[in-house]
Chain A
Amino acid sequence: MIEPATHTCSILHKAKLGPSKMLSGRIIGRLPKLTRHSHVNHFFRPLKYIGIFSVHNLRYNSNENNKVYKSPGTTIKPEECIPEICGKPDDSQKSNDKKPLPPYWKILATLFIAGVTIYAISISNWFTAKKSDLQKDVSKREKDGRRIRRSFQKSKSPSTSNSFPSEIPYLLIGGGTAAFSAFRSIKSRDPRAKVLVITEEEDLPYMRPPLSKELWYNRDRKISAQLLFKQWNGAQRSIFYEPPEFYSDISNLSQSDKGGVAVATGWKVIKIDIPNKTIMLDDGYEIKYEKCLIATGASPKNLPVFESIQDELKNKIITFRTKEDFLDLEDIVHNVKYKNIVIIGGGFLGSELASSLAHNLPKNKKIYQIYKEKFIMDQVLPKYLSEWATKKSMLEGVNCIANSEVEDYSYKGGQLSLVLSDNRVIDADQVIVAVGVEPNTDLAKASHLETDPKIGGFLVNAELEARSNLWVAGDAACFYDIKLGRRRVEHHDHAVVSGRLAGENMTGARKPYLHQSMFWSDLGPEIGYEAIGIVDSSLPTVGVFVKTTNSDTSITSVSSLNETTQPSNEEKLNTQSSLQLNLKKEKTSECSDNSKVLLEEPKKYGDFGKGVVFYLRDDIVVGIVLWNIFNRMSIARQVLARDTKYDDLNEVAKLFTIHDD
């Protein structure tokens, strides 16, 4: 009965229905770690769903009949994977060995067959249709060169404010993930809601995480140009949350008795008159609202040294945030003239991008990562893990330049060079500045809203409310977390979680922020981690890792960080990844040739292949990193929720079954 094509699927089924979580974990763990496997693995169980409804999502699937891997997770949309709503954590599965049959689906299926409904149908037309446009776009781009785009004035849609309504029940300022999550939440709770999204961006809401991760792993550049990426299960989807057809026409919104969501792109809200519940657009047009959300997100910071660069360099020194930034960079890095790609910044974006580029670009491209800290991810991971991640990143082919900042630059004869803090000079054909973002709080002053002087963002209470009928979600919200104190979080899942909560509260839920958001990061194909809570490397940590046969040996090297060691030994020790190491060795030695710009001698490091790291504040666990182990976020949430001192964190670590895959 099971066709070969569905084999993987069936394995998954077995796994999930198996008697233990362990089995399930193992098989899932073997899935190719290409995309948001981890994130998704954790959540995908909830999402497979009444087939009939999940089919809806098939429009995000491959338009090339990709039936090779049709696991239940096919329908997964990472941004929707919200455990609070749909996930029963793993533990519930244990008690669930004997699954009741799913009668709904059967009956619906029967209805379906009977022709009662045709709605459960593959919907890939959107992409097929769009494809041609996009391809046109691509070829046009190739001809004209994308670089011109940056000088363009933003185009507005609708082009004049005439078609805007003068009143709207729900007004969302910003069109990113938080706004998407909010309007979904609003429409779920108020089915006839009329929602107007006003965004400065020129695009409909889309997700950003793939821009530094999955999209670089597409083998076919045309696929990348269409902003399609492969999810953990091999299914392809777009970064756009919804296709254009999903949205209502802005001029019809007021009349529609069914309500809808309309998006005005390229428009800026310059002021909110809070007592009068009115916003003002950049052309002076005013719109009255009943409930308003600020979800303006954040903008990339630049380095002071680049602030007054001449125009001709503006395309050579860029920040990276939007899908246009991705398309530009994708274009650039494949241009033969661009050999030295320099990424500045050792945080999430810089490190992910460096790994993704180094892993996927041909060898004749040099990827440099310059950061002022000693190791990448320094503010997030404990030092030893930072160091280990840095080594892994170098093995991927990243030329790491640690303890370094860009002091100056020169531009002679079309060649850009960067002058680093130790007067070292490196050539840079393209520079990507990834030194963090700052929340977009322009509205604060004109609207008399309070912002946080230290961490930035609009100040809101635990219900994400800034003032009456005004909420803030996503990167721009500085909110009160009942559990962990005042925070501002710049992560995708936080945008999802806070956007949803704001939407609920805009429809009268009056709920505080209780469900903790998580985040994830991938550093090349070998390192993926998920985290929750306060993950700050300045806190004391306890990390529990899987002991491999060589761990005892390697740990000594960790303790003697500054000793010179014999790399050859290490290779032998690292049996597990030796193949990878060897494969990458060429690149590494290439690194060493440029040893001036590299870390000193490669140091030996312990094998921190898999484990869990607890971050402690006053001995209480306030943050957890799940290092290369997946599908355990619900346990992490429970550990955080316990909110007590743990005498023995190794005992706590047992809960995470780190030895199971």
Chain B
Amino acid sequence: MPFIHKDGKDTIIFASKEDHATPSKIELPEPEPSPGLLLSSGEINWNCPCLGGMATGPCGLEFREAFSCFHYSAAEPKGSDCYDAFKTMQTCMVQYPALYGKKEGSLEDLEDEDPMEEHGKNLEVDSKGSHLESKVKELPRTSSVETGIEQSNAK
């Protein structure tokens, strides 16, 4: 039994693990909608904090172009028609080395990131998710990044 004590207007309950073993009878309302990177409409949420300052910084426009291109790309493989957009973005970014960096050594960093999970989640709202997934599987595994992916997948 939980131990209940009254301290003036304040009630204190001490509950043991057993006291809370049965599921709660309370039903909660739906959580607030939280769209993540992709809105339920499938559009990109540029205000997603997960983008950091990418969409709002000095190369924000270029970034948006490139990312949109990729997101809506119907090419095979996806994004292969976005070379120009990425190139433009890159051209902008090299002008801000302090902001976007210029060394290429951080593939290692990528490895340890866990980009997977949330994005996977985001893609659930994207009807094309499984479609994309099947395509991804066809991609060759070549580099350390792939290793990173592998690693994450295994988890």
Contact = CB atoms under 8 A, between A and B. Distances in A.
Interface of A: 1-2, 5-6, 9-10, 12-14, 16-17, 45-59, 67, 70-72, 74-75, 77, 80-89, 91-92, 96, 99-113, 116-126, 129, 183-185, 187-189, 191-192, 241-246, 248, 258, 260-261, 382-384, 500, 504, 515, 539-547, 551-552, 555, 558-559, 606, 634-635, 637-639, 641-642, 646, 648-655, 657-659
Contacts of A552: 3, 14
B56 A101 contact: no
Chain A facing B: main interface SS: helix
Contact of A547 (B3, B8, B139): B3
19 contacts: A13-B152, A49-B37, A49-B50, A58-B106, A72-B113, A75-B52, A99-B120, A103-B129, A107-B132, A122-B106, A126-B98, A189-B46, A191-B64, A541-B11, A545-B14, A545-B15, A646-B26, A650-B15, A654-B24
A108 B70 contact: yes
B99 A1 contact: no
B41 interface: no
Interface in B4-39: 5, 7-17, 19-20, 22-26, 28-37
Given A6-B112, A86-B48, A545-B14, A47 B145 contact: no
Contact of B113 (A16, A54, A92, A652): A54
Contacts of A14: 155
A500 B47 contact: yes
Interface string B50-68: 1111111110110110110
B20 A245 contact: no
Nearest to A654: B24
A635 B29 CA distance: 10
Contact of B115 (A52, A122, A126, A544): A52
Nearest to B25: A651
Contacts of A100: 120, 123-124, 129-130, 133
A57 B52 contact: yes
Closest 8 CB pairs of A and B: A72-B114, A80-B49, A122-B106, A51-B115, A123-B101, A103-B132, A70-B112, A654-B24
B149 A105 contact: yes
Given A50-B119, A116-B86, A654 B23 contact: yes
Contacts of A544: 2, 13-15
Given A121-B104, A606-B12, 8 more contacts: A56-B51, A72-B117, A75-B113, A87-B36, A91-B31, A103-B135, A109-B145, A641-B28
A388 B124 CA distance: 45
Nearest to B111: A6
Nearest to B56: A187
Nearest to B51: A53
B101 A59 contact: yes
Contacts of B77: 107, 110
Contacts of A91: 31
Given A85-B45, A109-B146, A121-B106, A547 B118 contact: no
Contact of A1 (B57, B93, B119, B150): B150
Given A49-B118, A51-B113, A83-B34, A638 B79 contact: no
Interface in B55-113: 55-58, 60-61, 63-64, 66-67, 70-71, 77-79, 82-83, 86-87, 89-90, 93-94, 96-113
B34 A541 contact: no
A648 B2 CA distance: 12
A106 B113 contact: no
Contacts of B118: 45-49, 86
Contact of B97 (A125, A555, A653): A125
A565 B153 CA distance: 56
Contacts of A189: 46-47
A543 B8 CA distance: 13
A273 to B, nearest CB: 29
B28 A112 contact: no
Given A85-B45, A547-B14, A56 B54 contact: yes
B123 to A, nearest CB: 6
B88 to A, nearest CB: 11
B31 A191 contact: no
Contacts of A57: 52
A245 B58 contact: yes
A47 B99 contact: no
Contacts of A103: 78, 123, 129, 132-133, 135-136
Given A88-B34, A555-B12, A658-B20, A111 B79 contact: yes
A611 B61 CA distance: 46
A83 B113 contact: no
B155 A13 contact: yes
Given A59-B101, A123-B99, A101 B153 contact: yes
Contacts of A50: 37, 50, 115, 119
B119 A515 contact: no
Given A84-B34, A125-B101, A17 B117 contact: yes
B124 to A, nearest CB: 7
Contacts of B137: 101
Contact of A183 (B11, B56, B139, B153): B56
A78 B111 CA distance: 23
B99 A558 contact: no
B97 A654 contact: no
B143 interface: yes
A319 to B, nearest CB: 31
B142 interface: yes
Given A101-B116, A102-B117, A652-B24, A56 B52 contact: yes
Nearest to A2: B151
A184 B47 contact: yes
Nearest to A45: B118
Contact of B9 (A244, A260, A540): A540
Contacts of B117: 13, 16-17, 45, 48, 72, 99, 102
A50 B145 CA distance: 13
Nearest to A5: B112
B13 A542 contact: yes
B86 to A, nearest CB: 5
A187 B64 CA distance: 11
A546 B55 contact: no
A545 B10 CA distance: 13
A181 B81 CA distance: 34
Contacts of B46: 188-189, 191
B115 A54 contact: yes
A610 B130 CA distance: 41
Contact of B139 (A5, A106, A543, A545): A106
A535 to B, nearest CB: 13
A292 to B, nearest CB: 19
Given A245-B99, A634-B31, A104 B13 contact: no
A653 B31 contact: no
Contacts of B104: 118, 121
Contacts of B37: 49-50, 86
Contacts of A46: 34, 36, 49-50, 118
A555 B11 CA distance: 12
A17 B155 CA distance: 7
Contacts of B133: 100-101, 103
Contacts of B98: 123, 125-126, 129, 243-245
Counting chain A CB atoms within 10 Å of each CB, which of B104, B110, B137 scores highest? Answer: B110
